[in-house]
Structure 1
């Protein structure tokens, strides 16, 4: 076995775990109106257990329905009416050989649901929260109540069939608030000194131990460092916390950051601008000081790296979050030596953006996520058909793979000499390396399937007639739109696609027209290479603009943000821009005319000229609808999907392709 350390069992308490790969705590936003798990939620967790993870953790098991929720989409872990759904979920996890864990959590001073309902929250001292919410100091009885709630929550989880509890002691939740010098300003026995700040977590852990009995594993998740600058605690303090917890718990799960602060949250959930395994050093340092097993989490996708982490003693367990969505079967594939078939997380935050705006996790590259229950009870097609897919980009490859997996005969035609489509132009962008890996993966899976691939082949009505397929799927994509302004045909003007493919075309100073995702990411790349970059956007904000109420309202007049927009990735870009002083964004600014010396624009400060060597346009895409519709009458069944319908994003193309291919042969 290639990864012998990664797949060595580990015992925590009296519980044996089949390997060292844990699915870290994730909530399931799609709850019932009473905040209980649905059958879809059960399937969400069960899929990970089927995929071979040693432990699967149900996140945000809130122990206090009155004062513990930061937002409405969090599980009620203190209501007996949720017992059935929790029992079904725990059983769905354990029957596949995984350990079911429940993450005990409480929002503390971030209990926004209570603030909205009752007009105040409980905190450490009397006062007012920065957003104006009154804060009442917790008295002794309230603190003892909280300790009891964690104990009863743990007992309830065990009663429902969970084999472990995970205490959320990081990211700015209640436990970390008690432990944090920044938040805990009490001067009684619950604050003031390190020992007093640790009194609550240690008392709650002791109560949990009594509630669940000996041998029942208790894990605690903490931030090794908060990454709040001078306002938060560092690794030395995180190590001191871990040392105080040593021997009191069975696993110390070392994360990072803080969920209430954007910059720190981007460390908790590392962006694509950060290296793989960016937070491993925190666990490695803490492990030097404790005897309790240690877990690490954050930007882990490669079993080679995971094996090295365990083998070198940096951690005893690797915990995966978003990667469990990109590929719930990672453990099975790694153990079987099929690591080149693992779908690695792009770190695009599509899952977070959708769950934030629409209440559902959707993975950009794994169409099963959000459709787990449907996938588990798949109905095979009634009739196998011959399917011709026109276009070998994101949508075309997914459609071909899905149709082939369902038993259809598939012919995939690509106009160029390589599968992957237009996104291949970003192959050399460092922070897009996982995107290139994904395109390579899809092409590799196609090469191992029954799909017949025809490169350098343009699909026409005549070629379709010659092949006589039952179904034609048009996934032809789109082409860049050039804005209609004087000078757009100049020798110093290029489309974003051309620049991605040949960055040497760009001079020292560049202006990018368009503050959408394409323009911003291109700007980041060019700024990283040392160029002076200015992004010009007609709208009052971009997806990376601060969430200012006035600009949000003005932006809404232009259509606003919708589900699927890169909400969280926009935050990541905004935070990363702070490291790039050579990149400037100008919103509410109209491009007027391009000349050899730069571009004239009109913005809030009037008409100005921005000096530039190169002008790049990234203002949108034109769908190849006419080209797609030309194929509509060439076969009995026709489908158009992806950018040739409406240019959107990877997720939209993947979902449409997967769903379209699954519909074939239904009647």
Structure 2
């Protein structure tokens, strides 16, 4: 008798003539690190292959632009029908398929959201359904019938090319404000001819593309149509229109992939890619509603991390397929772990947007909680250490746990010491914050993995030089963290003053009206947390512009410019999420370019461009940063032949920096 826990999730599904081994698909993701000719690199093949190794039924290569001359919106997009890219695409599809997954590829065109700077010939305008002007002032020129027919053939050519390269499913991007959506949505399509007006006319273009692809490559290869169930915009279409769109697609494609939102508008983009402030599975309801009206299998996507929730979605008939985007980075092994009973070791996506922020700024996906991402090739081909060593890790926070886990996996003898009675470090104070639920899961999961690994754990053990020497280690990794900085200001010792860490642990100590000194990530997130609990919050930040206005998350030519000031600790895309969340909270106020002068019983005396004034408050909270415990860490440097100092005790940064360095240092041990 089968003991399979998630029977519906792991039931195979046939789409067209292709059998998929389970219901867990990896959503389309582009690979930023292309060659100078915009072809996939060898590292890209490993990026996609890693998901296939982990058990995904389908792995989709994203952002293949079907008209590279005028259809690109950002630099990291492949050419859609360039013969010179055939080898790289074939190697990638093979890397996916040889592990039993179906290699899919997403066909895109930016349409009126294309970048002028990325066109082969900048004519000063972009093409769209109708004449107009974009919010950034760029002219939109309406396509004529001949151009539309040419574009349809470009989709067909790209699909045929993809099939030649070994891809087993075609994904058409018909959502999120891309070119196909621009014909579908009345918001963009004001045409009066056969391509606009009624839903039948607005759907004429995507149906023509589907028909052209079918004629070109037949019915053997399934077609997935990715759509927005709602545009999530005041002037965009809603779920009722989404249902009508899906009805027209019903029977014409093999999968209706229901996403939501619009890439070019921040507020809608934060629905497409749910931030930590939204609940898990927040977009499933749109797929579930559409599934009531169609017979074609429906896929859902967005903020899904828990296989139990995924199983319920499939079992209850809300969707037929689960698509995972960021979660496929946080843990490419989610499918296999769920199948063999290791679901409690699945690394959850923290929804911190570290992946998006890094790919936008630096051109590489890096995951905060999974240091293998961005290093897929080296991690999959790593050579075992030449020498097994005794490794002492001082500090059981996120960096310490990651270092211990990686070193143990590499075969070293690992000793992990933590001075408190619990693993998790400084971030334990955020365990009970509702929008940090996935962080709490991550900390518990890391601690669980430590307990299951060959790691000797000593709690309530502070690593002094004497303690360190008693273990006779070959290697010491100091990850002892930092402590909150206390501002030097008159009145700091008053009874109405507390640190952010104290408030996180005991929010009830905060009065109805509170002032937070510090507009960095800690201060802003604490302010949101307290505001959600009903407190009136004022955040005081000395710097000019606590939250700058970031560029669109994807899309126009401004993607690589105007990036928000990250000096206060706001990752690019998480900064967008913070800004959107702050808009929803009327009881929170931000005072930038404001200097704190003195704390009194009445509140905080500050100085800004209007002079000196008092912000009345019951509680003053400081969140001005962390002081690294560098000296305490360096005191251990003579206690072993090899010594490494990592994480906040070097320079306080973020989860990604801690796990990344911890992982790599542990990987390097044993070379000599």
TM-score band w.r.t. shorter chain: over 0.9
Corresponding residue number in structure 1 for 2:52: 49
Corresponding residue number in structure 1 for 2:558: none
Using the TM superposition, name which of 241-250 and 128-137 deviates more: 128-137
Residue deviations 1:201-256 (CA, integer Å, cap 9, x gap): 11111001111112210000000011102x10000000000000000000000000
Corresponding residue number in structure 1 for 2:148: 143
Question: What is the correspondence of 1:329-344 to structure 2 with a 5 Å cutoff?
Answer: 329-344=333-348
Residue deviations 1:521-546 (CA, integer Å, cap 9, x gap): 0000000110000111111122x442
Corresponding residue number in structure 1 for 2:500: 496
- Of 22, 25, 28, 1:25 maps to 28
Question: What is the correspondence of 1:180-195 to structure 2 with a 5 Å cutoff?
Answer: 180-195=185-200
Calculate the TM-score normalised by the size of structure 2: 0.96
Question: What is the correspondence of 1:464-543 to structure 2 with a 5 Å cutoff?
Answer: 464-542=468-546
- CA distance in structure 1 between the partners assigned to 2:639 and 2:210 by the alignment: 68
Contact 2:520 2:569 (C-alpha < 8 Å) held by counterparts = no
- CA distance in structure 2 between the partners assigned to 1:235 and 1:97 by the alignment: 35
Corresponding residue number in structure 2 for 1:203: 208
- Of 235, 246, 249, 2:239 maps to 235
Corresponding residue number in structure 2 for 1:110: 113
- Of 383, 392, 395, 2:396 maps to 392
Q: Are 1:615 and 2:631 an aligned pair?
A: no
Residue deviations 1:429-456 (CA, integer Å, cap 9, x gap): 0111111111101110010011000000
- CA distance in structure 1 between the partners assigned to 2:568 and 2:662 by the alignment: 19
- Of 223, 227, 243, 2:228 maps to 223
SS at structure 2 position matched to 1:634: coil
Calculate the TM-score normalised by the size of structure 1: 0.97
Q: Are 1:440 and 2:441 an aligned pair?
A: no
Q: Are 1:586 and 2:591 an aligned pair?
A: yes
Contact 1:22 1:318 (C-alpha < 8 Å) held by counterparts = yes
Contact 1:535 1:586 (C-alpha < 8 Å) held by counterparts = yes
Residue deviations 1:498-539 (CA, integer Å, cap 9, x gap): 110111111000100111110000000000110000111111
Corresponding residue number in structure 2 for 1:164: 169
- CA distance in structure 2 between the partners assigned to 1:548 and 1:290 by the alignment: 37
- CA distance in structure 1 between the partners assigned to 2:249 and 2:568 by the alignment: 41
Q: Are 1:431 and 2:443 an aligned pair?
A: no
SS at structure 2 position matched to 1:387: strand
Q: Give 1:560 shift.
A: 4.3
- CA distance in structure 1 between the partners assigned to 2:174 and 2:258 by the alignment: 10
Question: What is the correspondence of 1:68-87 to structure 2 with a 5 Å cutoff?
Answer: 68-87=71-90
Corresponding residue number in structure 2 for 1:413: 417
Structure 1 portions without partners, runs of 5+: 550-555
Q: Are 1:101 and 2:96 an aligned pair?
A: no
Corresponding residue number in structure 1 for 2:555: none
Which structure 1 residue ranges, 4+ long, deviate > 6 Å from structure 2? none
- Of 456, 460, 474, 1:452 maps to 456
- Residues 1:564 and 1:654: Cα distance change in structure 2 (over 3 Å): farther
Corresponding residue number in structure 1 for 2:374: 370
Q: Are 1:639 and 2:644 an aligned pair?
A: yes
Q: Give 1:96 shift.
A: 0.3
- Cα RMSD of the aligned pairs, angstroms, is 1.6
SS at structure 2 position matched to 1:425: helix
SS at structure 2 position matched to 1:402: helix
- Of 455, 465, 478, 1:461 maps to 465
Residue deviations 1:405-446 (CA, integer Å, cap 9, x gap): 101101100000000001111111011111111110111001
SS at structure 2 position matched to 1:375: helix
- CA distance in structure 1 between the partners assigned to 2:542 and 2:43 by the alignment: 41
Contact 2:31 2:62 (C-alpha < 8 Å) held by counterparts = yes
Q: Are 1:328 and 2:329 an aligned pair?
A: no
Q: Are 1:125 and 2:130 an aligned pair?
A: yes
Q: Give 1:124 shift.
A: 2.2
Using the TM superposition, name which of 647-656 and 596-605 deviates more: 596-605
- Residues 1:563 and 1:43: Cα distance change in structure 2 (over 3 Å): farther
- CA distance in structure 2 between the partners assigned to 1:228 and 1:200 by the alignment: 22
- CA distance in structure 2 between the partners assigned to 1:206 and 1:409 by the alignment: 61
- CA distance in structure 1 between the partners assigned to 2:84 and 2:415 by the alignment: 52
